[in-house]
Amino acid sequence: MAKAFAIKVLAAFGVFAALWFGVPPWSWLAAGLILLAALGLIAWGVFDVNSSLWARTLHRAPGHSAVALTFDDGPDPDYTPKVLEILAREQVPATFFVVGCRAEAHPELVRAMDRQGHLVANHSYTHAWNINFSLHSTLKREITRCSEAIEAAIGKRPRFYRAPHGFKNPALGDVLEQLGLACVGWQVRGFDAVSSSANAIARRLVLKARPGGVLLLHDGAGLQGTQDRSATLEALPMIIDGLRSRGFAFKRLDELFPSAAPQMNA
Ligand SMILES: [Zn+2]
């Protein structure tokens, strides 16, 4: 929150100085531009998925030749078992950002992820879009409840958090630091929550992936996206083949960012 406060104070000071020392109409123009710049900076911090303005956000690990496959919005009784089956067959480790209420409803699927060597991470408890605009207490409750659901299923606290829709607010950095979680965005996404074309999903990920990149797909359906994940299932073997033929190996997020998660303070 300290950065948000500093931006507001600097903007207020700039507007005051422009109006006090400037000559109309230039003073009004300068004050307007300062306000616009401040609003633009705040919006960039909220809406740019990889902006580290409000919370340090990981999306690519420099110096790594591998990539990390990540799956959001599960566990889903229809699709998660099929994703797990493909990953097991291909011997690819991945990271699953689970939604807490879904993890509570299907703890056996969270256990299956863990048992098969995948990393389980936090994607909030309800995945409601408006939690990204909540202040400390609501945000902390959402994130804590998801971590508790994961811990109840597998006995491990998650270390990584991805905000629903990738939005962040000034309180998020403080909350994640208190809870000992690192924020994750993505280097490239397959748009599989909105696209029904397996070819388009696979082509996009395979062509745009960069060394050390975090790649986003979805194993859960229906959370402000389409209900049908069959395009993801069809795309996944093509994605794995395509990335392998580009020379990429696959790692979990904790292997790509071994020292990322901050120490827990509360
Ligand atoms: Zn999501």
The answer to whether 72 is a known catalytic residue is yes
Answer yes or no: is pLDDT of 265 > 60. Answer: no
- Cα of 172 from ligand 1 centre, angstroms: 16
Query: What span, in angstroms and rounded, lies between the C-alpha atoms of 37 and 29?
Result: 12
pLDDT band at residue 87 under the 50/70/90 scheme: very high
Q: What is the pLDDT of residues 140-167, one digit of tens each?
A: 999 999 999 999 999 999 999 999 988 8
- Cα of 216 from ligand 1 centre, angstroms: 10
- Cα of 222 from ligand 1 centre, angstroms: 10
Poorest-pLDDT segment among 10-19, 78-87, 155-164, 207-216: 10-19
pTM exceeds 0.85: yes
The single residue of 59, 118, 127, 218 carrying the catalytic annotation is 218
Residues across the chain: 266
Please report the pLDDT score of residue 261 as a whole number. Answer: 63
Mean pLDDT, the chain, rounded, equals 90
CA-nearest of 111, 109, 169 to 140 is 169
- Cα of 15 from ligand 1 centre, angstroms: 38
- Cα of 62 from ligand 1 centre, angstroms: 25
Answer yes or no: is pLDDT of 130 > 60. Answer: yes
Counting residues of the chain whose pLDDT is more than 70, the rounded percentage is 98
- Cα of 56 from ligand 1 centre, angstroms: 19
**Range among 2-16, 45-59, 159-173, 175-189 rated most confident:** 175-189
The single residue of 59, 72, 118, 219 carrying the catalytic annotation is 72
The answer to whether 165 is a known catalytic residue is no
State the DSSP code for 77: T
Please report the pLDDT score of residue 264 as a whole number. Answer: 52
Please report the pLDDT score of residue 28 as a whole number. Answer: 85
Please report the pLDDT score of residue 263 as a whole number. Answer: 54
CA-nearest of 141, 130, 132, 96 to 116 is 96
Torsion angles phi and psi, residue 90, rounded to 5: -90, -5
Please report the pLDDT score of residue 266 as a whole number. Answer: 43
CA-nearest of 94, 112, 90 to 103 is 112
Query: What span, in angstroms and rounded, lies between the C-alpha atoms of 45 and 48?
Result: 6
**Range among 23-27, 57-61, 83-87, 224-228 rated most confident:** 83-87
